[in-house]
Amino acid sequence: AQSVAQPEDQVNVAEGNPLTVKCTYSVSGNPYLFWYVQYPNRGLQFLLKYITGDNLVKGSYGFEAEFNKSQTSFHLKKPSALVSDSALYFCAVRAGSARQLTFGSGTQLTVLP
């Protein structure tokens, strides 16, 4: 079985400040981890993924995520938030042998001007 948790339904941050959106996972075996973003009334857009290798993954729009195997976490980060980053963010996990991707419940990020 595989699962993913996003412990915060809502994250608020001031523009220009660093942001973190948290994600923890549970899988059997090696995880493949993904972050997606959803703007209002739109489909999900892929941001970045961890498959193997360097624990720090860089993605679109200046976002990055750090894979931490001991803490089973894959937190999304950005050094300086923009108002346009305000959106719903989803973490997803897939075990190496799994045929399905499992999504978290989402975190609404609001960047305040």
Partner 1 sequence: NAGVTQTPKFQVLKTGQSMTLQCAQDMNHNSMYWYRQDPGMGLRLIYYSASEGTTDKGEVPNGYNVSRLNKREFSLRLESAAPSQTSVYFCASSEAGTVHEQYFGPGTRLTVT
Interface with partner 1, residue 99, by CB under 8 A? yes
Query: Nearest 5 degrees, angle CA 107-CA 28-CA 98?
Result: 80
Integer Cα distance of 77 and 42 in angstroms: 22
Interface with partner 1, residue 32, by CB under 8 A? yes
- Interface residue with partner 1 among 25, 27, 85, 106 (CB under 8 A) is 106
- Interface residue with partner 1 among 44, 73, 75, 82 (CB under 8 A) is 44
Structure tokens at 18: 């660093």
Structure tokens at 47: 């941001």
Q: Note the residues at the interface with partner 1 (CB under 8 A).
A: 9, 32, 34, 36, 41-46, 49, 51, 90, 94, 96-101, 103-106
